[in-house]
Amino acid sequence: MSDKPQPASDSAAHNTQFEDRVLVGFVLFVSLAMAWISWPFFGAILWALVVTIAFAPVHDRLLLKMPARKNTVATLTLLLVIALVIIPAFVVGSLMVDEAIRTYDSLQTREIDFAALGHELQALVPQRWQEILGRYIETDIQEIQSKLSSFVTTGVQIIAGQAVSVGQRAFNFAMALGVMLYLTFFLLRDGRHITRRIGEAIPLRADQRRALFDKFTTVIRATVKGSIVVAIVQGILGGLIFAFLDIRAAVLWGVVMGLFSLIPAVGTGIVWVPVSLYLLATGSVWEGFTLLLLGFFVISMVDNVLRPILVGQDTQMPDYVVLISTLGGLSVLGINGLIVGPVIAAMFISAWEIFTENRAIANHS
- List pLDDT tens digits, range 161-204: 555 555 556 677 788 889 999 999 999 999 888 888 887 777 77
- DSSP sequence for 216-250: HHHHHHHHIIIIIIHHHHHHHHHHHHHHHTT-SSH
- For position 330, what pLDDT does the model report? 82
Rounded CA-CA distance 96/84 in Å is 18
Q: 118 CB contacts (<8 Å, ≥6 apart)?
A: 141, 144, 145, 148
State yes or no: pLDDT of 352 exceeds 80.
yes
Rounded CA-CA distance 258/244 in Å is 18
What letter does residue 334 receive in the DSSP assignment?
A: G
- For position 196, what pLDDT does the model report? 84
Backbone dihedral region of 267: left (phi > 0), alpha (psi from -120 to 50 degrees) or beta?
left
Between residues 222 and 134, the one the model is more confident about: 222
- For position 121, what pLDDT does the model report? 55
Based on the number of CB atoms within 10 Å of its own CB, is 256 exposed (0-12), middle (13-18) or buried (19 or more)? Answer: buried
Q: Domain map of the chain by residue range?
A: 40-201, 204-358
- For position 107, what pLDDT does the model report? 60
Q: Other CB atoms closer than 10 Å to residue 299's CB: what's the count? A: 25
**Residue 149 pLDDT level (bands cut at 50, 70, 90):** low
The pTM of the whole model exceeds 0.85 = no
- Please give the biggest Cα pair distance in the chain: 107
pLDDT digits 0-9 by tens, 106-116: 666 655 555 55
| CB contact at 8 A, 252 and 100 | yes
- For position 265, what pLDDT does the model report? 67
Secondary element (H or E) of residue 198 = helix 170-201
Q: Taking residues 7-36, what's their average pLDDT? A: 78
Closest CA to 261 of 338, 155, 149, 313: 338
Rounded CA-CA distance 212/210 in Å is 6
State yes or no: pLDDT of 133 exceeds 80.
no
Task: Tell me the average pLDDT of the chain.
Answer: 78
Rounded CA-CA distance 143/150 in Å is 10
| CB contact at 8 A, 153 and 107 | yes
Q: Taking residues 4-17, what's their average pLDDT? A: 64
- Give ∠ CA 355-357-363 in degrees, rounded to 5: 105
